[in-house]
Amino acid sequence: MTNLSGASEAPAISGNATPESVDVAIIGGGLGGLALAAGLRRRGIDAHVFEAAPRLRNETSTMISLGPNAWVALQELHPDLPADLRWRGVEDCQVITRLRPPPGCGLEPTTIDRPGAATRLTTIRWAETQDALALLVPDEVVHCDHAAAGYTEEWGPAAEVGAEAAAGSGSGCGGAEEGAASVEAAAAAGRGPARSVLVHFRGGQPSVRAKLAVGADGIFSAIRAAMHPHEPPPRYLGHMNWNCLLHNPGGNTVVDAHKPGQVIFTSDGAVSASERREPSLMSYVCDAGGGYTFWQVRMQYEQPSFTVDLLRRQQREQEGRPQQQEEAEQEEQDNGGADEGSANVIIGGGGAGRRGRGGMGVPGSKARCLERLKAAGWDPMVPLVAATPEAAVFERALYDRLPLAEGQWAAPGRRVVLLGDSAHGMHPGPGQGARSAFEDAHQLALALEALWPDVPAAVERYLRARVTRANRVQRFASESCGLAAVRQAAAPPGLSPAQLWDRSFEFRAWFDQYPANMHGDPASTYWKPPPPSLSSEAAAAEAEAAAEGAAGGEGEAVEKEGEVPALAARKEEAAAAAAGTDGADLVSGGDGIGTTDVKADGAVVQVRVVAHDGGCNGRAAGAADGEGEDATGGGGGGAKVAAKGQGPAAGGGGGGGVQVTLAVVQAV
Ligand SMILES: Cc1cc2nc3c(=O)[nH]c(=O)nc-3n(C[C@H](O)[C@H](O)[C@H](O)COP(=O)(O)OP(=O)(O)OC[C@H]3O[C@@H](n4cnc5c(N)ncnc54)[C@H](O)[C@@H]3O)c2cc1C
């Protein structure tokens, strides 16, 4: 049996008895939780998954994109994963970016066409990814209908502290040093180290004892809420999003949407070397594999704008009811509801009933998308959306989490730790949410394998490996968001559009080197590793201050001022090295340095690749962006494009670790 997303219905496995104790209790059976479970079980660790839903959810109407960092992490978690995922998805997609700024704004429409060999972008349905991961985790260790409510770390008696410290928390391989923090914390609190954790569930399910609990329960994490009860809820990022998967074999069976292997990104934003217009409307159409077309429409709103609210307001106005009555009703409904927001939270097929809630099939959502697309004159999108059943359209607001400092990813006893969106939920612009969750899972699996059974030591190692990097990625992702204040606070102040492109390009060049240069690329200008004095705690504090509109970004501003000339020198060197190389490399998989022509509206544009991602192993380019949308938003575009000469201002391709300079050479 298949559902609207085209994935097989996951077996109902809510009947599994709750175990009394397990090695590792993974809370959440999404992409991060299942990836960790697969990696740990392969390493002989008894990991169990506790999932709130009655079955592993597989109807999200979402697609994700994967690139080099994800492949490295997945390969090491389980060697069967990359081949299976590549088979289910579409590899090396061609990315077409259409920048359509409104007439009269001073920026020209531009189309950039990037061949598949240059993108290294794999598209795959979220549900297929989850299914591939779930296949590697035995059904009997996946416990659905287990919604975690919180946890209790169980501490040993104070007398254990001295022995524990002397024994280095019982481990070799650096365990003494790495476990020391939790031992010290215990000593300071007048108790022994934490020995285990009890995870509590809603609905009367018995608690489970574990050596480690991992909060992989998404952006609205209950485990994070228990860890940080006074923290504000996830932050709305200024974008409403509608996405859908439509069975449309060949990309043209139901409606003519795309060619096989194509990704088409359209935005009303645009960038030139000196100007930048932030998008207010974006669409994304692509081949999602398995005969499915994925489409997505994103609109900018200062406040969450759920269709259910709009319709309710209209109805109230028609009926002449007072606004206060509506607000009282909404408050009552809000208090009873579950949260919406992460990639795979489904609020029911019949449409969302509560204020501030999205979900599948919200009545009126499709008409809303159609109206906006027509108003913008984006005619190619209209038949596609019109052909889609409303029941398959998923409406959501986009949120992130403010960065946490290193120690805050774990409970004091180091028996509970966060992973994936619960630790670093981010704007999907650069397409790094799931990829970062896979990196988390990879690093936690490696740490536990190396240091087991010294869980606190392994957790410390995981925190050191992950937090600084994840915070930087998350902060960069917020540059793609729809709220100007958040976007501007996230980027270093004072950068020109051209410098933001440089930075965006360098982000990809750094990120795809994973696991090398974990916290920064020493050869880069904008993404150098933070100095030792700028610990991840300080980095998180800085990011938080920036996010709140305070004077963040100082460190990067210094880097910028001091080193932009160095970047320019590196570019010149690369360009000199490129002289005489054949531009066909861009498409043929050579080293990618050289020139090639791409089509832009009304012109043939020569693309000169002057440098590319050092981590791309001699191929033409690095991975393309998750959603390719950052070409105009400055978030992780990965392809740095600047216009030269006359003709249309150039925009950026949909990501990829290629740095290109465009020169218009011939009008057609
Ligand atoms: C529109 C959109 C596009 C995206 N595109 C990309 C992309 O191109 N590339 C990319 O890398 N990422 C992308 N992402 C991000 C990616 O989907 C997420 O980062 C990723 O799914 C996070 O995985 P996770 O396991 O941390 O959380 P989730 O996948 O959200 O899983 C959390 C799980 O925990 C369960 N759960 C929740 N509460 C509880 C509880 N109390 N107890 C037990 N279980 C619970 C949920 O039911 C769910 O199964 C996109 C996201 C969105 C919204």
Scan for tokens 């492949």, then name that residue. Answer: 71
Say how many Å lie between the CA of residue 65 and the centre of ligand 1. 13
Say how many Å lie between the CA of residue 568 and the centre of ligand 1. 39
Residues 374 and 440 in one domain: no
Nearest atom, ligand 1, residue 625 CA: 8
Residues 394 and 360 in one domain: yes
Which position has the higher pLDDT, 288 or 497?
288
Nearest atom, ligand 1, residue 56 CA: 49
209-222 pLDDT tens trace: 999 999 999 999 99
453-473 pLDDT tens trace: 999 999 999 999 999 999 999
489-532 pLDDT tens trace: 998 888 988 898 889 889 988 999 999 999 999 999 999 998 87
Residue 581 has pLDDT above 50, yes or no: no
pLDDT, position 142: 96
CA distances, 78 to each of 386, 445, 446 (Å):
41, 11, 12
Which position has the higher pLDDT, 500 or 331?
500
What is the number of H-type helices and E-type strands within the chain? 21, 22
Question: Which of 5, 16, 31 has the most ligand 1 atoms within 8 A of CB, as the residue to mutate?
Answer: 31
Q: Which of 355, 381, 399 is the last residue of a domain?
A: 399
Residues 60 and 131 in one domain: yes
Say how many Å lie between the CA of residue 604 and the centre of ligand 1. 41
Say how many Å lie between the CA of residue 219 and the centre of ligand 1. 7
Please give the Cα distance from 623 to 356 (Å, whole number): 35
Say how many Å lie between the CA of residue 455 and the centre of ligand 1. 25
Say how many Å lie between the CA of residue 30 and the centre of ligand 1. 6
What CATH number does residue 61 fall under?
Answer: 3.50.50.60
Q: What pLDDT band is residue 15 in, cutting at 50, 70 and 90? A: low
pLDDT, position 326: 64
Closest Cα to atom 37 of ligand 1: 217
Closest Cα to atom 5 of ligand 1: 64
Closest Cα to atom 17 of ligand 1: 343
**Residue 589 counted as domain residue:** no
Closest Cα to atom 31 of ligand 1: 30
Nearest atom, ligand 1, residue 426 CA: 19
Residues 211 and 250 in one domain: no
Say how many Å lie between the CA of residue 344 and the centre of ligand 1. 6
Question: Which of 344, 426, 508 has the most ligand 1 atoms within 8 A of CB, as the residue to mutate?
Answer: 344
Please give the Cα distance from 425 to 230 (Å, whole number): 18
Nearest atom, ligand 1, residue 31 CA: 25
Closest Cα to atom 38 of ligand 1: 217
Residues 464 and 502 in one domain: yes
Scan for tokens 């020139």, then name that residue. Answer: 595
Q: What pLDDT band is residue 359 in, cutting at 50, 70 and 90? A: confident
Give the total number of structural domains in the chain. 2
Residues 352 and 439 in one domain: no
Say how many Å lie between the CA of residue 421 and the centre of ligand 1. 6
pLDDT, position 300: 97
Of 21-35, 206-220, 345-359, 414-428, which gets the smallest average pLDDT?
Answer: 345-359
Q: What pLDDT band is residue 439 in, cutting at 50, 70 and 90? A: very high
Mean pLDDT score, 37-53: 97
Of 310-319, 350-359, 414-423, which gets the smallest average pLDDT?
Answer: 350-359
Residue 637 has pLDDT above 70, yes or no: no
Residues 415 and 391 in one domain: no
**Residue 452 counted as domain residue:** yes
Distance of CA 444 to the CA centre of its chain: 18
As given in the structure block, the two tokens for residue 158 are: 């104070």
Mean pLDDT score, 330-339: 46
**Residue 284 counted as domain residue:** yes
Residues 214 and 254 in one domain: no
Nearest atom, ligand 1, residue 396 CA: 53
Which position has the higher pLDDT, 150 or 597?
150
Question: Which of 60, 61, 62, 64 has the most ligand 1 atoms within 8 A of CB, as the residue to mutate?
Answer: 64
Residue 633 has pLDDT above 60, yes or no: no
Q: What pLDDT band is residue 118 in, cutting at 50, 70 and 90? A: confident
Say how many Å lie between the CA of residue 130 and the centre of ligand 1. 10
Nearest atom, ligand 1, residue 65 CA: 8
Closest Cα to atom 20 of ligand 1: 434
Q: Are 432 and 511 in contact (CB under 8 A)?
A: yes
Q: In the chain, what percentage of residues exceed pLDDT 90? A: 55
Mean pLDDT score, 231-252: 95
In the DSSP assignment, the letter for residue 405 is: P
Which position has the higher pLDDT, 108 or 456?
456
pLDDT, position 75: 98
pLDDT, position 137: 97
Nearest atom, ligand 1, residue 149 CA: 41
**Residue 508 counted as domain residue:** yes
Closest Cα to atom 11 of ligand 1: 434
Closest Cα to atom 3 of ligand 1: 428
Question: Which of 217, 298, 514 has the most ligand 1 atoms within 8 A of CB, as the residue to mutate?
Answer: 217
Report the residue count for the chain: 668
Q: Which of 489, 512, 535 is the last residue of a domain?
A: 512
Contacts (Cβ under 8 Å, ≥6 apart) of 379? none
> In what side-by-side order are the strands of the sheet with 603-612?
594-600, 603-612, 658-667
Mean pLDDT score, 151-170: 63
Nearest atom, ligand 1, residue 27 CA: 43
Structural domain including 421 reads 21-90+124-150+200-234+401-512
Nearest atom, ligand 1, residue 126 CA: 17
User: What is the average pLDDT score of the chain?
Assistant: 75
Residue 336 has pLDDT above 70, yes or no: no
**Residue 418 counted as domain residue:** yes
The helix-helix angle for 307-319 and 365-376 (nearest 10°) equals 100
Q: What pLDDT band is residue 434 in, cutting at 50, 70 and 90? A: very high
**Residue 266 counted as domain residue:** no
Radius of gyration of the chain (CA): 25
Amino acid type, 310: L
CB environment 482-504: b (16+ within 10 A), e (fewer): bbeebbebbbbeebebbbbbbbb
Residues 419 and 497 in one domain: yes
pLDDT, position 156: 86
Residues 68 and 213 in one domain: yes
Say how many Å lie between the CA of residue 498 and the centre of ligand 1. 33
Angle at 306 between CA 304 and CA 481, to 5 degrees: 35
Q: What pLDDT band is residue 316 in, cutting at 50, 70 and 90? A: confident
Q: What pLDDT band is residue 251 in, cutting at 50, 70 and 90? A: very high
Residues 351 and 209 in one domain: no
Residue 495, CB half-sphere, CA atoms under 13 Å: how many? 30
Say how many Å lie between the CA of residue 599 and the centre of ligand 1. 36
**Residue 11 counted as domain residue:** no
pLDDT, position 70: 96
Q: What pLDDT band is residue 573 in, cutting at 50, 70 and 90? A: very low
**Residue 13 counted as domain residue:** no
pLDDT, position 593: 30
Nearest atom, ligand 1, residue 33 CA: 25
Q: Are 111 and 167 in contact (CB under 8 A)?
A: no
Residues 385 and 252 in one domain: yes
Say how many Å lie between the CA of residue 423 and the centre of ligand 1. 11
DSSP string, 148-210: EEEEEEEEPPTTHHHHHHHTGGG--TTHHHHHHHHHHHHHHTTSPPEEEEEEEESTTPPPEEE
Nearest atom, ligand 1, residue 28 CA: 34
* E-state strands within 28-114: 47-50, 63-66, 94-99, 110-114
* CA-based nearest residue to 359, from 343, 336, 381, 372: 343
Please list every protein residue whose CB sits less than 6 Å from any atom of ligand 1.
27-33, 50-53, 57, 62, 64-65, 147-148, 216-218, 222, 241, 243, 342-344, 420-421, 428, 431-435, 437, 626-627
Report whether the peptide linkage leading into residue 515 is cis, meaning its omega lies within 30 degrees of zero: yes
